[in-house]
Amino acid sequence: MTRLSARALTLAYEDRVVVDGLDLAVPDGKVTVIVGPNACGKSTTLRPLGRLLKPRSGAVLLDGAALSSLPTRQIAQTIGLLPQSPVAREAITVGDLVARGRQPHQHWWQQWSKEDERAVTDAMARTSVSDLADRPVDELSGGQRQRVWIAMALAQDTDLLLLDEPTTFLDIAHQVEVLDLVRRLNHDRGRTVVAVLHDLNQAARYADHLIAMKAGRVVAEGPPSEVVTAELVHEVFGLASIVIPDPVTGSPLVPQSTPITAPVSGSGCASTWTTKDAYQWPRVSL
């Protein structure tokens, strides 16, 4: 089953086509992660799933209906989207910004409910921003601000959550905190998540379903253990690599510094290692 899917999606900016005829099915109740090199079209693919970009042709379907035909309020109650570079209105406080996540749930006869209060308090606690509630968002560090945006998306309390590089600006501890939070939301509350991540190893750790993109196309998709191979890393990132099991999780791990020289057996000296040689290194079985 898939509540959110895209059919024959063509996405363009003015006359520049970035994605052409893409089909996508977001697996329900799973964490899907999109990876790929800079400018390959990851954000461009995510935006129309949250109706932030109108497809040039094709359609995004939510529960079988074209997203373009659904009321904004219904979409906002179902899909939360955290864009890659969100911009806050000047001088808005953290508490007010997170509370904005509740707008789709409010009614003219009831501006603010106990449920709204609970969702905001919970979202702020989960992202460790409760202490920042009264601070203006534009005075925060990049990492603090990123967590506030994530809190706003959580407060929206949607079944589907789309996150474009949610770990940008975060130090390693906060990256892990956010990704664990995403996992917990998925595990405890059955949330369907689609995230763009630029770190392939983090993607392989946290994804149930991995989508590798290159030049606006899906090159491979499936469980990380099947998708992440040295061949794929070479094809998608143009990088010579090996793939080993992550010692902590067993998910595929691509060590990020691949030696450019390797000993040649018998000769006792190092020879230059070409991309082609490295790429043919045997993959360690998982």
- For residue 109, list its beta bridge partners: none
- From the list ligand ADP, Mg ion, none, pick the one residue 8 interacts with, judged by a Cβ distance below 5 to 8 Å according to partner type: none
Nearer to Mg ion, 43 or 201 (CB): 43
Q: State yes or no: residue 236 binds ligand ADP (CB under 6 A).
A: no
Which residues from 20-59 bind ligand ADP, rule CB under 6 A?
A: 36, 38-44
We find the least distance from the C-beta atom of residue 43 to ligand ADP, in angstroms, to be 3
- From the list ligand ADP, Mg ion, none, pick the one residue 39 interacts with, judged by a Cβ distance below 5 to 8 Å according to partner type: ligand ADP
Nearer to ligand ADP, 99 or 228 (CB): 228
Compute CA 193 distance to the chain's CA centroid, rounded to the nearest angstrom: 8
We find the least distance from the C-beta atom of residue 36 to ligand ADP, in angstroms, to be 6
* Angle, helix 114-126 to helix 142-155, in steps of 10 degrees: 140
- For residue 93, list its beta bridge partners: 136
- From the list Mg ion, ligand ADP, none, pick the one residue 201 interacts with, judged by a Cβ distance below 5 to 8 Å according to partner type: none
We find the least distance from the C-beta atom of residue 172 to ligand ADP, in angstroms, to be 22
| Tokens 């219904």 found at | 74
Q: Which residues bind Mg ion (CB under 5 A)?
A: 42-43, 84
We find the least distance from the C-beta atom of residue 160 to ligand ADP, in angstroms, to be 19
We find the least distance from the C-beta atom of residue 8 to ligand ADP, in angstroms, to be 18
We find the least distance from the C-beta atom of residue 205 to ligand ADP, in angstroms, to be 20
List CB contacts of 182: < 8 A, sequence separation 6 or more.
31, 161, 163, 166, 193, 195, 206
**Residue closest to Mg ion (Cβ):** 43
Return the half-sphere exposure (C-beta side, CA atoms, 13 A cut-off) of residue 83. 11
Q: State yes or no: residue 270 binds ligand ADP (CB under 6 A).
A: no
Q: State yes or no: residue 230 binds ligand ADP (CB under 6 A).
A: no
Q: State yes or no: residue 127 binds ligand ADP (CB under 6 A).
A: no
Q: State yes or no: residue 6 binds ligand ADP (CB under 6 A).
A: no
Nearer to Mg ion, 84 or 121 (CB): 84
Q: State yes or no: residue 95 binds ligand ADP (CB under 6 A).
A: no
Q: State yes or no: residue 158 binds ligand ADP (CB under 6 A).
A: no
- From the list ligand ADP, Mg ion, none, pick the one residue 78 interacts with, judged by a Cβ distance below 5 to 8 Å according to partner type: none
Binding region for ligand ADP (CB under 6 A): 13, 18, 36, 38-44
